[in-house]
Chains A and B, each alone.
Chain A
Amino acid sequence: RKEVEQDPGPFNVPEGATVAFNCTYSNSASQSFFWYRQDCRKEPKLLMSVYSSGNEDGRFTAQLNRASQYISLLIRDSKLSDSATYLCVVNTGANNLFFGTGTRLTVIP
């Protein structure tokens, strides 16, 4: 079983839409969680960390459910510039980061 699993998409949504991505992780001892964004042919960049209490950064909201071992990312009022691949990342506590395969989002005018 993979450490981190994500729906690969693609998600094609109109501008202004709300879209949500989920990801599950297998190691219950995982200690920290992140969402990264990756543009085509570029390196992954941190979008936001995910905290147990949930956290928000502008149009982006991240949630963690430890009991069910899943992480979510909600994007409100989608912009064309949000088009990218979103990677769910889990740190298992051995200071290793495990990446999901990514969910591809395309925002359509």
Chain B
Amino acid sequence: DAEITQSPRHKITETGRQVTLACHQTWNHNNMFWYRQDLGHGLRLIHYSYGVQDTNKGEVSDGYSVSRSNTEDLPLTLESAASSQTSVYFCASSGQANTEAFFGQGTRLTVV
């Protein structure tokens, strides 16, 4: 069955380190998204991509970057981790425009 997977599921890192969170989907979806979820804020869009070589900034993109070198993967990089980036990160993908998105299981990141 097609799916979307994130790795790692849990990560503890130190302030200032570069961290990359992986997201891989096997639906062949063009659209991929990264969200962070914090108490009181709900899900907020970090970056998104509509296809290979396409990346766009979302609502809370500062301190994050993504790259899309193939259809299946959209890795999220924290260039210099900060304590404010402690959060749960969800990757999602969708196919046609205006259709629902499917989510990975999430990555819980703690920056100490």
Instruction: Tell which of B40, B42, B58, B105 touches A43, judged by Cβ atoms closer than 8 Å.
Output: B105
**When each residue 93-112 of chain B gets 1 if its CB lies under 8 Å from chain A and 0 otherwise, what string results?**
01001111111111000000
Give, as a whole number of angstroms, the nearest-CB distance from B79 to chain A.
Answer: 23
- Evaluate whether A44 and B45 lie within 8 angstroms (CB atoms) in the complex, with A32-B99, A95-B94, A97-B33 already known: no
* CA gap between A45 and B104 in the complex, in Å: 10
Asked if A72 is an interface residue, CB under 8 A from chain B, the answer is no
Contact A43 B97 (CB under 8 A): no
Contact B42 A49 (CB under 8 A): no
* CA gap between A8 and B48 in the complex, in Å: 26
* CA gap between A43 and B33 in the complex, in Å: 14
Give, as a whole number of angstroms, the nearest-CB distance from A99 to chain B.
Answer: 4
Asked if A31 is an interface residue, CB under 8 A from chain B, the answer is yes
Contact A43 B90 (CB under 8 A): yes
Contact A44 B42 (CB under 8 A): no
* CA gap between A89 and B45 in the complex, in Å: 12
Using a CB–CB distance below 8 Å, which chain B residues touch chain A?
A: 31, 33, 35, 40-45, 48, 50, 58, 90, 92, 94, 97-106
Contact A101 B100 (CB under 8 A): no
Give me 8 A-to-B residue pairs in the complex whose CB atoms sit less than 8 angstroms apart, sorted by A's number. A31-B98, A42-B105, A43-B90, A87-B43, A91-B98, A96-B33, A96-B45, A97-B101
When A and B form their complex, what is the total count of cross-chain residue pairs whose Cβ atoms lie within 8 Å? 48
Contact B100 A34 (CB under 8 A): yes
Using a CB–CB distance below 8 Å, which chain A residues touch chain B?
A: 31-32, 34, 41-46, 49, 87, 89, 91, 93, 95-102
Instruction: Tell which of B42, B45, B99 touches A87, judged by Cβ atoms closer than 8 Å.
Output: B42
- Evaluate whether A43 and B104 lie within 8 angstroms (CB atoms) in the complex, with A95-B50, A96-B48 already known: yes
- Additional A-B contact list (15), CB under 8 Å, known A44-B103, A89-B100, A95-B31: A31-B98, A32-B98, A41-B106, A43-B103, A45-B103, A93-B98, A95-B50, A96-B33, A97-B33, A97-B45, A97-B94, A98-B45, A99-B35, A99-B42, A100-B42
* CA gap between A101 and B43 in the complex, in Å: 7
